[in-house]
Structure 1
Amino acid sequence: MPPQNTIPKKRTRAFTSPLIKDAIFKLSEEHDLKNKTDYPRTIDIKKQVCKLCSSYEGQWVASFAHYLFQSVFAMKANVEFSRVFEIPSLHSESHSQAGYDISVGPYDTDFRYRFMHKTVSKKWCDANWTWRSEKNNDIRHLKSLIGLTDDKLKMHKVYLVLNVFYCIHDWRRMGVDYLNKFVIPAYDSPLRTVIIDLNDLKDNYKTKNNNGIVVWRTPVKYQGNNNPKSHLNDIEKLENTKANFQGNTLNPISLKMLCDDMKKEWRAKGPWSKSLIK
């Protein structure tokens, strides 16, 4: 495992733990549409490759919103999804100015949680991987997100969310029990959904240094004789995920930590929260 501020080089040889990779390919062996009712989605078992590795970011954003909706907001209050979530179009006139891909919080309050959302495709979530932001678009959005373009925006809490997956077959089998040996990491696993706290950047952003954010994971390679459930529990620990921006270490948090923080913050905002927050 590298030191906390040691950013991986751009060209590193990645190893792949056999756990999730082998499980997905074996679970997908029979995925051959015999009736030809859909386009070909077969996976090459022999070569262990899949051509369907890209994914529409919007479905991950929607999954993120769905999880927060169920975990934070009280269903008994018949809360409308539209009251607390905004997912702007990538073609929105104000998308670049806003800097976020999803804004969470009742529209009739002045405090939000805002997220820049990215996908890390063609990567097994239990293997090592590195993600780097784009220097132009992502940096421009980041400046807006953390309030460098408008001080009023600094009141909101801001985060980067990464979703890690290999292909469509991996996406479709999240949460599936594999032969009673282990569960394919579901959406709420820290292996699958990585959340990076960006709030410290509001006061520590160096305008002359526009190097992007780097996030990486370096779990211990599965040896084959360990208990697979214990292995997955070990590598999903937050300390295996690192993030760096302009020499500053950024802290990862779990979905549970995020939801707990949301409930705590909004409960303190006023009487309206009693009917909305679990």
Structure 2
Amino acid sequence: MHIHGFEQHRVPVGDGVELNVAKAGTGTPVVLLHGFPQTHLMWRHVAADLAADHTVIAPDLRGYGDSDKPADTGRTYAKRTMAADVVKVAQAFGYDRFAVVGHDRGALVAVRTGLDHPDRVTHLAALDVLPTLDMWDVLHGTTAAIGFHLFLMAQPPGLPERLIAAAPDDFFGHFLDVWTQDPTAIPPDVRAEYLRASRAAVPSIVADYRASATVDVEDDTADRDTTLRMPVAVRQQDWGAFLGFDARAIWARQADDLDHATVQCGHFMAEEDPALVVKTIRDLLAR
């Protein structure tokens, strides 16, 4: 499945890897990065609105959707590597500067893009995630069970892949169910597409998560005192009330110019409340 009205492209990003990218519209560019366990299709409502007056570029992240899924060699799925993909995709369409909006895993890639390429990212939005180091810091005690998948996929290669591959629809479908307040937001055909894509990408999805417990921690620790210099918008559920942390304070340490707010919808906010996400992005771009 694809976003209606968007053209599909195969964009090389180096080392023989190509990403599947949806593109439409004209005007200043906005790159949309999806989360887990989804594809670029999660942006279907938001992208259609933004394409009225922006160039919208929505790739499947490497290892996800219909993008290539190279074997992991240690840094293949580092967010630094995936951030370089974002820059190369934008450049392939003629853009050296762009806004980037990420949800979940895509938000981690967006943050790394802003840190590594501040001269290229004009605006940055992150939806329902914490920076990697802070995510690990707040998960402790029995409440950490909410992030069991993070610990599972952080294990050395072998066991997590086999466990998930034994029942992929149950595993990925679990998150589509429990993270959604409005089940109608992900209709059956879209759900089936997410499961199809995830079922075919178990090793690379695990490698993406494993990177966030290894090489991403190394990179983010080295850049702990580096802040995002562009205007930043963050929208997230009130996880702080459940896990006992101040999400706004965490993001304020990361971003010099921050607009932070909690939302009432579920995790998949681009599908559950696309109007809220569109307004967030448009307000951000106006800053």
TM-score range, shorter chain: under 0.3
Which of the pair is proportionally richer in helix?
Answer: 2
TM-score (norm 1): 0.28
What TM-score results when the alignment is normalised by the length of structure 2? 0.27
Larger radius of gyration: 1
